Amino acid sequence: MNPTFTPLPETITSLPPDEIQRRIAEARRKLGREVVLLGHHYQADEVIRHADFTGDSFKLAQIAARQEQAHTVVFCGVHFMAESADILTSDEQTVLLPDMGAGCSMADMAELDDVEEAWKRLTEMGIDEMVPITYMNSTAAIKDFCGRHGGVVCTSSNAREVLEWAFERSKRVFFFPDQHLGRNTGHAMGIPLEQMPLWDPQVKGGAPDEAYRNARVILWKGLCSVHQIFRIDDVERLRRDDPERRVIVHPECNFEVVQAADLVGSTEYIIRQVEAAPAGTKWAIGTEYHLVDRLAHEHPEQDIQGLSKTRSICPTMTRIDPPHLLYTLEELVEGRQVNPIHVPVEIAEGARTALDRMLALKGDGSVGTKDSRHRENVA
Ligand code: 13P
Ligand code: SF4
């Protein structure tokens, strides 16, 4: 990603927080139903309260694909999500990202040149049977690569179904960029760790050729630094001090943490587990801070805390703050588009193929708008 940053005017940055909230609501009313706001669960309360739909990355992709009435989607999330929304919406619709600084360090860990080189080297080793799978948290160029090579996209809420789909077609998958999601999912499906070697793009491999030839899942050496904050020591401390507390983590956490946890799943899954739990349930949650904090406020009848004593804040998700959202909306009222996301057509086609393969795997009912908090905040 090569972001261009537009500094906000002082007329926006000098506003007090209450006034920003009031003007966001006013701009939303003026824009009406032709502008839809999507918010990822990691967004701060001050932003997500304005969203028409909230969700994990899978649900937001589904919702974006269904927007027919709206000519503009304002994406309160990160760049790869906005790119996917652009690919899944029609040519007449525009997706805006309020701050181009809202990237994702994990997505940046798999660059197209490196992936192409890895694919070539593995093919030269005689590995020709291989389906590429990319986590949603990747650039459109990587999704396009997957689409062109018979591959598919997955998210943390469908990684297992996607791997099963791939194994029906091939004995081996190449999974990028998140080694942890790939390893945790592969292990849950019964694949031994030694059959999931790591591909390190810095050294163009790193494991013996034989390990790649015998692999079921070749894992790209990428990670989410936010979820690496959670360590096995955190789980062991809790088990010692508070054995009743249930540990629930996102699959971007490392293998040891996931093995020691009680439950593992996407942000949407984590929310559903908490919502379904009886009063008095104690939780330690291993995912981004804003979601954990929101769940703690929304469920005072339960005892909810983060798994780590360190706040696990995603620095790029927080780039979408109320001033940027306000600026985007007020410019839109004036007929101007801030940071439109346009995936080049030559990339969009293959990326759409890979996204469509994923979306076809789950029917609408399973993770649809049913669970979304659809806020009727448009007059
Ligand atoms: P999900 O939305 O799939 O739970 O993923 C979390 C994440 O890291 C998004 O950036
Ligand atoms: Fe990327 Fe991790 Fe932030 Fe998600 S939480 S956007 S994977 S850096």
* Alpha carbon of residue 225 to chain centroid: 13
Q: Which domains does the chain have, with CATH numbers?
A: 10-103+316-343 (3.40.50.10800), 107-224 (3.40.50.10800), 227-312 (3.40.50.10800)
Backbone angles phi, psi at 285, to 5 degrees: -110, 130
136 Cβ below 6 A of ligand 2: no
Q: Is 372 in the pocket of ligand 1 (CB under 6 A)?
A: no
What is d(CA 253, CA 277) in angstroms, rounded to the nearest whole number? 23
**Tens digit of each residue's pLDDT (9 = 90 or more) over 178-197:** 999 999 999 999 999 999 99
pTM: 0.92
List alpha helices for 73-170, DSSP H: 79-88, 112-124, 140-148, 159-167
Q: Over 70: is that where the pLDDT of 153 sits?
A: yes
The tokens describing 46, both together, are: 């001050």
At residue 68, the pLDDT reads 85
Each residue of 166-176: pLDDT tens digit?
Answer: 999 999 999 99
What pLDDT, on the 0 to 100 scale, is given for residue 196?
A: 98
304's tokens? 């909810």
**Ligand whose nearest atom lies closest to the CA of 40:** 1
pLDDT digits (tens, 9 = 90+) for 259-284: 999 999 999 999 999 999 999 999 99
Distance 180 CA to ligand 1 centre (A): 13
Kindly give the number of the ligand 2 atom that is closest to the alpha carbon of 224: 2
Q: Which of 138, 151, 145 is nearest to 61 (CA)?
A: 138
Summarised one tens digit per residue, pLDDT across range 284-298 is 999 999 999 999 999
Which has the minimum average pLDDT: 3-12, 148-157, 247-256, 321-330?
3-12
Measured from the CB, is residue 266 less than 6 Å from ligand 1?
A: yes
- Nearest ligand, measured from the Cα of 178: 2
Nearest CA to ligand 2 atom 3: 314
**pLDDT at residue 362, rounded to an integer:** 63
Residue 376 CA to residue 373 CA, distance in Å, equals 9
pLDDT on residue 244: 96
Question: 255-265 burial, b for 16+ CB within 10 Å, e for fewer?
Answer: bebbebbeebb
| pLDDT score at 278 | 97
pLDDT at 376 over 70: no
Ligand 2 atom 1, closest CA: 104
Compute, in angstroms, the gap from residue 78 CA to the centroid of ligand 2.
8
Beta carbons within 8 Å of 331's beta carbon, 6+ residues apart:
337, 338
- Does residue 378 surpass a pLDDT of 70? no
Question: Which ligand number lies closest to the CA of residue 269?
Answer: 1
What is the strand order of the sheet 53-55 is part of? 53-55, 35-40, 72-76, 94-96
57 lines ligand 1 (CB under 6 A): yes
Q: What is the DSSP string of 92-117?
A: T-EEE-S-TT---TTGGGS-HHHHHH
Cα 190 from chain centroid (whole Å): 25
CA distance linking residue 69 with residue 358, whole number of Å: 24
Q: What percent of the chain has pLDDT over 70?
A: 94
pLDDT tens-digit map of 36-62? 999 999 999 999 999 999 999 888 988
Nearest alpha carbon, ligand 1 atom 9 = 57
pLDDT at site 366: 28
Cα–Cα dist 329/24, whole Å: 7
| Locus of tokens 């406020």 | 297
CB 224 less than 6 A from any atom of ligand 2 = yes
Angle subtended at Cα 330 by Cα 325 and Cα 332, rounded to the nearest 5 degrees: 95
Q: What is the pLDDT of residue 62?
A: 87
| Distance (Å) from CA 225 to ligand 1 centroid | 13
Q: What is the pLDDT of residue 377?
A: 26
**What are the Cα distances from residue 290, in Å, to 81, 169, 215, 223, 265?**
18, 39, 37, 20, 17
